[in-house]
Amino acid sequence: MSQVFFINPADPTPLYAQLTRAIQFAIATGKLRIGEQLPTVRQMAVDLKINANTVAKVYAELERTGIVETRRGVGTFICARHFEPKLKRQHELELSDLADRVVAEAGAMGFTLDDLIDQLQSRRKKELKKYV
């Protein structure tokens, strides 16, 4: 399952932040579903070739925010309660903040807003083809 996640050691973003975003993205796009079990800390670390403490830190942070829950002796699972409907305004604010961060990061990497929009439209077409 950790092949779902991509970590780029050359990226200046800390590994724990990359893994956190990768797990959240997998949940948001449906690659990970509510109730699904994540790999063990050790297995994820081996598969991604990163330190197990980094994976443990990510799992602990995701548990603290309610995205996953750890069941002692069983494993770590995607948690349903995190995905209860949010207030519409709060949801819009979070999406706006996300868009701001993406645009800023793309700009820092030398991409224009049009480059980003083109990439998102291309990604959308690929997703739509999966369901046709």
The CATH number of the domain covering residues in 2-83: 1.10.10.10
Cβ neighbours of residue 65 closer than 8 Å, sequence gap 6 or more = 82
pTM greater than the 0.75 cutoff: no
Mean pLDDT of the 3-13 span: 83
CB 40 within 8 A of CB 12: no
Banded pLDDT at 130 (limits 50, 70, 90): low
pLDDT at residue 25 above 70?
A: yes
